[in-house]
Amino acid sequence: MKLDERSKELRRLVVNMIEVDRRGHIGPALSLIEILRVLYDSFLRIDSANPNWIDRDRFILSKGHGCLALYAILSDKGFFPKSELLGFCRPNSVLGGHPEIDRALGIEATTGALGHGLSMGVGMALAAKIRRQIHRVVVVMGDGEINEGSVWEAAMSASKHSLSNLTVFIDYNKLQSYGPTKEVLDLEPLVDKWESFGFQTEEVNGHDVEALTRLVQRLPLSKIKPTAIICHTIKGKGFPFAEGNAEWHHKSGLSPEDISSMYACLN
């Protein structure tokens, strides 16, 4: 699927960030960009001018190593100037290698220790239900991340409490840090797993902006169940040399030629 100009521009912001220190979790960020783009453009109720708004929706990037994509979209939405992106992972920067909670920056949770984001999301969604608050909670997880047992404990709790205000997106790029998920720990049948844990579940092409937009406009998919959306994606999407290549999960010591090649893909 070809990328439109907005998807390319968000990827340019990612390259801007990694160009400075020549390192970062590139592959995991590129599979996320369309998911985050559609959530922030078409679903999440947020206000960068009022980041503590009580009725704002809560978003948790549980796969915190994909934060390059999150920082790109948050800067695009006005939570901080795009110039701040150039400090990524540098001393005194507010943008570290994993997100750290800072509501002024639009970051609701500190993540990166994988397997914890859904538990936090369940707590937020349950608190909202008890308090009769109207905000929704969205958690994005990686497919390798859901090897963690804590994910499934949280899923059981979400189902028990009928958290229809909770939606989980799984970035199913089928490739974790050191190999295919099928070889590391096979997740299939993934739809059946989430349904058996009490989630209303659908699948979607995670790079198809129109399909994602139609889907989020239907959320929640159930009035009595939490929702799980399995997004079929490509790790490294947008850069052919990185697509489906585990070597691009994290890169250090990127050469000027590497950076030029990434920018060239976005022309």
Give the chain's domain count: 1
Q: Is the peptide bond before 189 cis (omega within 30 degrees of 0)?
A: yes
Residue 167: give its domain's CATH number: 3.40.50.970
Task: Enter the tokens of residue 36.
Answer: 């985050």
Q: How far is CA 216 from CA 8, 12, 93, 261, in A?
A: 22, 25, 33, 34
Instruction: Give the structural domain span for 90.
Output: 5-265
Q: Please determine, for residue 1, whether its predicted confidence score (pLDDT) is greater than 90.
A: no
Convert 206-216 to b/e letters by CB count within 10 Å (16 or more is b): bbbbebbbebb
Cα(173)–Cα(164) distance, integer angstroms: 26
| Chain segment 45-104, per-residue pLDDT in tens | 999 999 999 999 999 999 999 999 999 999 999 999 999 999 999 999 999 999 999 999
Distance CA 263, CA 185 (A): 34
Tens-place pLDDT, residues 214-267: 999 999 999 999 999 999 999 999 999 999 999 999 999 999 999 999 999 999
Residue 178 in this model has a pLDDT that exceeds 90: no
Q: How many residues does the chain have?
A: 267
